[in-house]
Structure 1
């Protein structure tokens, strides 16, 4: 099955035949629209520093499909992935389960975690929560659930209101399992989370504005004071970091040994999450890569770009076919400082996405028509040409955004160039 088809029947049957590997460890389950990956990165880095054997599953992959699965903060090897994936696919085919690509990937991750004998899994929801393939854990198998910032995204699957989408995200809440929620969410979102938590007798911790004191320090109950020093770019990361710290506090209370003040601080120093407000140089030009593809993430990107130096800005956009490019560009270019600094916009298309044949790019010419509403200097080019043109202004800043698949293609191109 090569399309999105939400539901738990197929994945549950597949996991039952695999003898339920997900019951072999404890899990922190993370849902939300924005910030899920960053929260998972914070958790993984700290747990690794604590010498707790940790498996992490995030999506979508940045470069290769096996990048979605890591053990102790290191992506698994292609050979291991291929071997286990083949095993899972054969079970799927032999039993005529008809699992989707994401369900197969999820089951592969679980089987790899089992074979590596992990102690804790950090699991990012793929889409929504309630009917997502990762939502197969019983209450006793969970340490905590986390729900990050929720916005209007994937409306074709989750509904076109924040309330509807929040109900899907809240589907990961389980009876008696502590939940950590982003308190900056809209009131209607928090209402859904509060009601669902109460119905499931799940202790709810709402993290608001970092829950930090005037000295920008997070005060935990289990491992002391933690400075909210950010290894990842963007002011919003203070909130994501605080969500992770609240979950680690719960994990400490859960009995996980090794979570100490020093291990948490050292773990946070080494956290990395590529493709999100990431700086690098391409063709001698400073480039900012970011996967912003919805209104909420565009607001974060706009704030960050505004805070940078007044260098000329060049933009390179590509979007998935289901995303609202007009809304994203409107959010970015309503900032007069950014609009005035912009010297050009390029639109392009990303290539085929491995393992996700249903993901298609928007037509770059149609994107150029949208971009022309915001700037006079707009050009539509194939990716290689667009990247070369967009990085020709050596004293400026080139911002690449609109899709993580675009970011992935560019990182892949850079890696290939380095090899040659």
Structure 2
């Protein structure tokens, strides 16, 4: 993959610089970027603003990365803008990458739709990511940072944090979600060195009687979040802190109320992340739920296992359906996920549209790694996702266990397609 900002800047200049006409909240980090953008988007929609949201990777098809008021842009509009961007790219011999093309399409769509605000998720890294084209975003947010994409971002946490901190801007405002101390200090140093006007270190919210509580403006604020997992306490806190900051500093957003915040958070949707899905339709009518999570790195795998242990006391055997991207540290991730009484069904995911560089790992590697961690573990390669679901269902009914599908968002997408679900 060829990173850098030269091509995207050249492409956008030929498209009349749509990014310079947008008010932007820019969200980077390792995990939690998507849910933070989803919370912010939902709150702003409740407050009556017209929003654009750009997330990556897409779930089912590239256009679901681009949303207006929370809804994927329609096929006709997407294709019309896509054709224009590709024509400019070809005629000017820019040779933009597929992600740069999609980013340009998103920014052109948001400009054409005259959105009040665009919420933009970083694709990979930060400093050299194609989304890092905004000279003065309203807010830069950095979510939890961990070791991921080391072959691109660097082999040390120091290098990775500095790359992700590349979205910070001089005289800009920044929100840092809760981090481990070493990461937090690097972020603070980066913010000071680049002369950010303001940076806020967020404290996670807390659980109180099944709801979430934050201390805001001198009093406690309780609300419900629909997304699962303790890590959402950090994500929702970062999102709300960002909303309150732009409400304070940008007069256009002064009308946002706590009711908008509460209702926006309550109605947030972020598919494929700690989501319970009914898979009965592919099991001959046999009612069965599966926990689905796109967990694809160490930080996410640890959070998934923690959620399972907290919710189910670590007693139930877990029957895992796992597919991973080639290049992942499979043994390390499986050591976080698996226990000796679990079982594993390894699968491959489908080709990913517009991402020819993404390849699934050989499922036999997952099987061998699982058996190497627990010698008594049942693990097999499945011919396809349907077979994996059927076999895992049979085993879960025999021992009252539960099923979990994880390892890659691209595998989650295959399940969505199989069940004919929408993104």
* Structure 2 contact 272–292 (Cα < 8 Å) conserved: yes
Q: 1:153-302 maps to which residues of 2 (within 5 A)?
A: 153-183=148-178, 185-202=179-196, 203-210=198-205, 217-221=213-217, 225-253=220-248, 254-255=250-251, 256-282=253-279, 283=283, 284-302=287-305
Could you list the runs of 4 or more consecutive aligned residues of structure 1 that deviate by over 6 angstroms after TM superposition? 211-215
Following superposition, the deviation at residue 221 of structure 1 comes to: 4.1
Query: Comparing 405-414 with 210-219, which one deviates more in the overlay?
Result: 210-219
**Alignment CA distance shift 1:12-1:305 (3 Å):** same
Following superposition, the deviation at residue 386 of structure 1 comes to: 1.8
Q: 1:5, 1:324 → 2: CA distance?
A: 23
**Alignment CA distance shift 1:221-1:6 (3 Å):** farther
Give the match's secondary structure for 1:379. strand
Following superposition, the deviation at residue 311 of structure 1 comes to: 3.7
- 1:412 lines up with 2:417 in the alignment: yes
Following superposition, the deviation at residue 197 of structure 1 comes to: 0.8
Following superposition, the deviation at residue 228 of structure 1 comes to: 4.7
Give the match's secondary structure for 1:373. helix
Following superposition, the deviation at residue 209 of structure 1 comes to: 2.9
Any idea what the Cα deviations from partners look like across 1:243-263, whole Å, max 9, x if unmatched? 001100111012214310111
Which of 112, 117, 121 is residue 114 of structure 2 equivalent to?
A: 117
Following superposition, the deviation at residue 23 of structure 1 comes to: 1.5
* Structure 1 contact 143–250 (Cα < 8 Å) conserved: no
Which of 304, 318, 330 is residue 313 of structure 1 equivalent to?
A: 318
Q: 2:216, 2:20 → 1: CA distance?
A: 29
Q: 1:258, 1:409 → 2: CA distance?
A: 41
State the Cα RMSD in Å. Answer: 1.9
Any idea what the Cα deviations from partners look like across 1:129-158, whole Å, max 9, x if unmatched? 00000000012xx11100001011000110
**Alignment CA distance shift 1:213-1:169 (3 Å):** farther
Q: 1:142-161 maps to which residues of 2 (within 5 A)?
A: 142-161=137-156
Counterpart of 1:45 in structure 2 is 42
Q: 1:13, 1:39 → 2: CA distance?
A: 30
Counterpart of 1:370 in structure 2 is 369
* Structure 1 contact 319–403 (Cα < 8 Å) conserved: yes
**Alignment CA distance shift 1:396-1:79 (3 Å):** farther
Following superposition, the deviation at residue 213 of structure 1 comes to: 9.9
Give the match's secondary structure for 1:209. coil
Q: 2:327, 2:134 → 1: CA distance?
A: 30
Query: Comparing 59-68 with 276-285, which one deviates more in the overlay?
Result: 276-285
* Structure 2 contact 275–291 (Cα < 8 Å) conserved: yes
Following superposition, the deviation at residue 293 of structure 1 comes to: 1.3
Q: 1:234, 1:119 → 2: CA distance?
A: 31
Structure 2: any 5+ residue segments left out of the alignment?
none
Give the match's secondary structure for 1:391. helix
Counterpart of 2:353 in structure 1 is 354
TM value normalised by structure 2: 0.92
Any idea what the Cα deviations from partners look like across 1:361-404, whole Å, max 9, x if unmatched? 00011211111123421110122322322233344311011111
Counterpart of 2:53 in structure 1 is 56
Q: 1:374, 1:79 → 2: CA distance?
A: 50
Counterpart of 2:18 in structure 1 is 21
Which of 9, 21, 38 is residue 12 of structure 1 equivalent to?
A: 9
Any idea what the Cα deviations from partners look like across 1:228-271, whole Å, max 9, x if unmatched? 53210001101100000110011101221431011111111100
TM value normalised by structure 1: 0.92
Counterpart of 2:327 in structure 1 is 322
Give the match's secondary structure for 1:314. strand
* Structure 2 contact 212–225 (Cα < 8 Å) conserved: no
Q: 2:203, 2:254 → 1: CA distance?
A: 27
Counterpart of 1:336 in structure 2 is none
